[in-house]
Structures are given as structure tokens and as C-alpha cells.
Chain A
């Protein structure tokens, strides 16, 4: 009986941590993965429908709300939505002004997109872990992991976007030659040490997005696992741990969004600086 419980607990956890994967299976062709093993066998040519769906939904929600606020924006007394939106915008503007030491009007909107998108995706975590998976289970979807930031693909995808921006602005501001010079001649300005410099700088460059992605992913994934473990408790005990953890996560959710955004601005600021 104890072993049964253990097996079902392990199954429950694994089930909750599996994404809804659509991809090309070596045997079944293009199909939805019905087990974790099948999803793994699909390799790179697969896509997590739940991650993509929920993240795009959150992004559209963010842009929709802000676009609506922007269309109705008045210079007079703002309404409730406009007030909230302006609060966020001012917060991001101040953050950008204090962190970014260059002249680029696009940095603030980039930071706003990152912050709001990550915040909304992380916020999905406050929803009880069983509600939406159960609902989608009834609709015939085997797996449903609703928090996109607990999927390393999502965080790494965004970090990759930031990485592209870093490279793009480095080349735009310093020119391809300047960027190459920076990679090869710092920190040791001697032609003999070019290979060493290159290794150092390229590792430093690549570590930036990876650290961004793994920090966000690690925090969100760990929090999710704790939520799932709490959900395994007897039903009358769940709230005792679940409520404090959820309240704590209100902090974590916004803090992680803030950290990702701030570090991205710092990296982009560094990309604008001449050495």
C-alpha cells in the first residue's frame, strides 16, 4: 500500500512536470506525445504547445491591455487602467534611466515587454496546481503545464532574444570591427593573448543569457515543485503550507521578473559602452 502511494506520488509529480509536446516521433510521426518517454524521443523537433500557448496568451494580454490604455491615453486625469499602466511605465522608465547609460529610446520598451511578460507568466503560478491540468485533462489533453517560465525552453528563448539584442547593439554601436576588437583585445591588450582573450570574452558573453535563463527557470521550477509536493498532502493540511508559500511567491514572481529585466538592461547598457 505504501509502495502504491509512493508510485502514485511520483507519477503525480512527473505528470505535473511534463509539457504538452507536439513533435515528430521516430515511430508515430507528427503527433502529441502521450508519455514523457515519447516526448524525449522526439528530440529537438518538438514544440511545447502549453508553454507556447500560455506565454503567447500572456504576451497578448499584456500588449492588449497596454495598447488599449495607450489608445485611450489622455493628458488629463487618467482612469484606473491608464493609471496602473502609467505606474508600470514610469517604474520601467526610472529603472532604465538609472541603469542604462546610453541614448537608446528602444531600451525602455524592451524592458517593459520583458518585465510585464515575465510577470504575467510567473503569475500563472498563483493558480492552484491542479485546476487547469484537470480541466484540460477533461478536454482530452494528457499534459498541461501552465507556467511557461517553469519550462527551460521559454526562459532560454527569451534570454536568447536578449542575447541577440546584445550582439545587435554591440555591432551597431561599435561596428563589427569594434566589437571584434573588444572580444579579442580585452582584458589583455596584446596580440599574443588574442586567443586567450577570445575564449574569455566569448564565454563571458554566452554566460549572460544562460545565467538569465537558468536563474528564472530555477526559481520558478523549484517553486512549482514545492507547490506540487504541498498538493500531495491530505486535503485539510494543504492550505497550511500552500497559503504561506503562495504569499511568498507573490514576492518571488515579481522579484524574478524584476531581476531578469534589470540584468537585461545592464547587459544592453554594457553593449552600448566603448572600452
Chain B
């Protein structure tokens, strides 16, 4: 346990180490550390800001969506109303057209019947004359009996 020059040597070594540490070791590590701390703090700040922005954007998006939905349903309603209206109109038109066609056809049929009746009447008169001729086997004065026969035909 001798106290000797080692004591001085150790003190000198200590002084040199401390000097080196202050000069070359501490500053770069310390500054890197603090810079990183600052960067991380900034990053966290930015992240919280971004999350706030995101929240805002989401709210806006939801709002827009709601409005759009409302509009769409309005448009749909209108379209539905319009289409039912159109169908109603078309139905009405079709019915009117149908009635008109039926009426036309009926009138034509009536005409046809009347004409057929007229013809029949005319033919019946001739037939009756021929028949009477045969029955009487004599010529009859056509002019004299014409009136009578026309009356007969009108009664048919």
C-alpha cells in the first residue's frame, strides 16, 4: 500500500480524459440527442395536428354524404311521381283511343247491316215477283203491282 507517483500519473490521466471527453465525446452525442428529442416532439405535434385535420375532414365528408343522400331521395321521389303521372296519362289516352276505335267499328257495322238489309230487300222483291209469276203462270203487269210489292218488301 505505497503512495507513490502512480497518484500523480492517475491525476494526469484523469485530467486528459476529462479534457478529451469535454472536447470531443460529449458535444456530438449530446447535440444529436437533443436534436432527436426536438424532432420527435415536432413529429408528435405534427401527428396530433394531422389527426385533428383528419377528424375535420371526416366530419365534412359525412356532412356532404348526408346532403347528397337527401338530394338523391328528393330526385327519386320526383321521378317516381312523374313516372306514375306519365303512366296515368298513357292509360287515359289508350282508353280514349280504344273507345274511339270501338265507336268507329260499331258505326261501320251498322252501315254494313243497313246496306245488307237494303240489298236483301231489293232481292226479296225480285224473288217475290219471280215467285208470283211462277205461281200465277201469267204475266203480271209489273207497273201495276209494283207499289204493292214495294210495300211488301218494306215490311220484311
Measuring CB to CB, which residues of chain A are less than 8 angstroms from any residue of chain B?
A: 19, 21, 23, 39-40, 42-48, 51-52, 55-56, 59, 62-63, 66-67, 69-71, 73-76, 78, 82, 85-86, 89-90, 93, 106, 108-110, 112-113, 117, 148, 151-154, 156-158, 160-161, 164
**A86 touching B6 in the complex, CB below 8 Å, given contacts A63-B20, A113-B17, A157-B11:** no
List the A residue with the shortest CB-CB distance to B3.
Answer: A153
Chain B interface, >50% SS class: helix
- Interface residue from B4, B25, B29, B32 paired with A63 (Cβ < 8 Å): B25
A164 to B3, CA, bound (A): 19
The 8 tightest CB contacts between A and B, nearest first, are A157-B10, A153-B6, A73-B32, A70-B28, A161-B14, A109-B26, A48-B6, A75-B35
Beyond the given A46-B6, A156-B10, please list 10 additional residue pairs across the A-B interface where CB-CB is below 8 A.
A21-B4, A44-B5, A46-B4, A56-B13, A63-B20, A86-B29, A153-B10, A157-B8, A160-B10, A161-B10
**A85 touching B29 in the complex, CB below 8 Å, given contacts A106-B22, A152-B1:** yes
A86 to B35, CA, bound (A): 13
**Cβ contact within 8 Å between A156 and B3:** yes
Is there a chain A Cβ closer than 8 Å to B65's Cβ? no
**Cβ contact within 8 Å between A89 and B5:** no
Number of residues on chain B facing chain A (CB within 8 A): 31
**A157 touching B6 in the complex, CB below 8 Å, given contacts A56-B13, A59-B17, A117-B17:** yes
On chain A, the residues within 8 Å of B26 by CB distance are 70, 89, 108-109, 112
On chain B, the residues within 8 Å of A40 by CB distance are 2
**Cβ contact within 8 Å between B18 and A109:** yes
**A52 touching B28 in the complex, CB below 8 Å, given contacts A110-B18, A151-B6, A156-B7:** no
Is there a chain A Cβ closer than 8 Å to B15's Cβ? yes
A118 to B17, CA, bound (A): 12
**Cβ contact within 8 Å between A154 and B6:** yes
What sequence of 0s and 1s flags, for each residue 19-41 of chain B, a beta carbon within 8 Å of any chain A beta carbon?
01110111111101101100100
**Cβ contact within 8 Å between B4 and A47:** yes
- Interface residue from B1, B18, B22, B29 paired with A89 (Cβ < 8 Å): B29
**Cβ contact within 8 Å between B21 and A75:** no
**A158 touching B10 in the complex, CB below 8 Å, given contacts A66-B25, A70-B28:** yes
On chain B, the residues within 8 Å of A75 by CB distance are 32, 35-36, 39
On chain A, the residues within 8 Å of B13 by CB distance are 52, 55-56, 59, 157
On chain A, the residues within 8 Å of B11 by CB distance are 157-158, 160-161, 164
**Cβ contact within 8 Å between A157 and B14:** yes
Most chain A CB inside 10 Å of its own CB: which residue of B4, B11, B20, B39:
B4
**A113 touching B8 in the complex, CB below 8 Å, given contacts A46-B2, A108-B26:** no
On chain A, the residues within 8 Å of B27 by CB distance are 70
**Cβ contact within 8 Å between B29 and A154:** no
**Cβ contact within 8 Å between B29 and A73:** yes
A219 to B27, CA, bound (A): 33
